[in-house]
């Protein structure tokens, strides 16, 4: 992430729109207030001229989104197999036109979605139960050891690395941290799975190695986050809320570790 902070950026650059509202407090008169609302638009993924999926997302970091979604959804089997050839802006949303090397398509290339993916959903448009929960990629190398203090440090620092959320108070953050808990980069989005996609793309575009750090997210850990993280080679995923039972099961099968913030100053680690 760049060095800008919320104090130096404008709401327009932070994908926020000013809206008028009324503050209603018990025992007080109604007061007019201005509020910044997060932007949310359709983002279409088109591979080799073939429409694949439409995700509802925050219109930021689209190059990261294009690569990260392609890796996390296993559209490609290697990070250099795609080229974002064009970003088309339309009144209805944005279209990402992505060229894929046909010799390096992954198992997700043919799993097209028939409807838009909602911001809180990583599965919308999946038409068959057998495609809903794909087997996660198995790690072959041992995961590096991460001290709980490093995870706690990263959680404590997250708010200072989320310029968009500091303005609109409504977007998720996904951070890539080194093994000592220092945050190296953050991506934000109205959808938690989109935030992770964007972070994955940013990691690979920066030529970083996912297994040489860990990821912290300001959300719960659902199973599709585990699928995406395992596809990207992430060995530890720590989330603000606890994982689901299916998420833990998939993580064990992938050789991943999960962690959740139990309370300030403590984490619970699974596996």
**Does 121 qualify as catalytic in the annotation?**
yes
What region, left, alpha or beta, does residue 254 occupy, with left being phi > 0 and alpha being psi -120 to 50 degrees? alpha
CA distance 223 to 220: 10
HEC states along 30-60?
CEEEEEEEECCEEEEEEECCEEEEEEEECCC
* DSSP single-letter state for residue 211: G
Block residue for tokens 């911001």: 119
Nearest to 94 by CA among 57, 143, 141, 47: 57
Residue tagged active-site, from 97, 121, 124, 211: 121
CA distance 244 to 256: 14
In a 3-state reduction of DSSP, which class is residue 115? Answer: coil
Read off the tokens for 141: 């190398």
| Angle CA 71–187–257, to nearest 5 | 60
CA distance 22 to 150: 41
Contact 58, 15 (CB under 8 A): yes
Read off the tokens for 21: 């509202």
Q: How many CB atoms lie within 10 A of CB 112?
A: 15
CA distances 239 to 111, 192, 255, 268, Å, are: 28, 11, 17, 10
Catalytic residues: 121
């Amino acid at each position: 992430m760049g060095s800008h902070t919320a104090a130096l950026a404008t709401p327009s650059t932070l994908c926020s729109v000013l809206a008028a509202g009324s503050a209603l407090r018990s025992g007080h008169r109604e007061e007019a207030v201005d509020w910044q609302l997060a932007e949310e638009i359709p983002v279409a993924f088109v591979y080799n001229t073939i429409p694949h999926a439409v995700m509802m997302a925050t219109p930021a970091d689209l190059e990261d989104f294009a690569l990260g979604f392609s890796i996390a959804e296993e559209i490609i089997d290697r990070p250099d197999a795609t080229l974002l050839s064009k970003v088309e802006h339309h009144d209805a949303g944005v279209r990402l036109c992505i060229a894929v090397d046909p010799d390096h398509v992954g198992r997700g290339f043919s799993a097209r979605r028939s409807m838009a993916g909602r911001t809180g959903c990583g599965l919308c448009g999946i038409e068959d139960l057998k495609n809903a929960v794909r087997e996660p990629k198995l790690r072959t190398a041992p995961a590096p050891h991460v001290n709980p203090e490093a995870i706690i440090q990263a959680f404590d620092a997250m708010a200072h690395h989320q310029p968009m959320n500091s303005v609109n108070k409504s977007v998720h953050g996904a951070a890539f941290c080194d093994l000592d808990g220092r945050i190296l980069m953050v991506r934000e989005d109205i959808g938690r799975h989109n935030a992770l996609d964007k972070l994955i793309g940013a990691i690979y575009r920066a030529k970083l190695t996912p297994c040489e750090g860990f990821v912290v997210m300001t959300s719960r850990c659902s199973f599709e986050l585990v699928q995406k993280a395992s596809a990207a080679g992430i060995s530890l995923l720590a989330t603000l809320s606890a994982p689901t039972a299916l998420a833990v099961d998939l993580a064990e099968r992938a050789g991943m570790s999960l962690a959740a913030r139990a309370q300030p100053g403590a984490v619970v680690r699974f596996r």
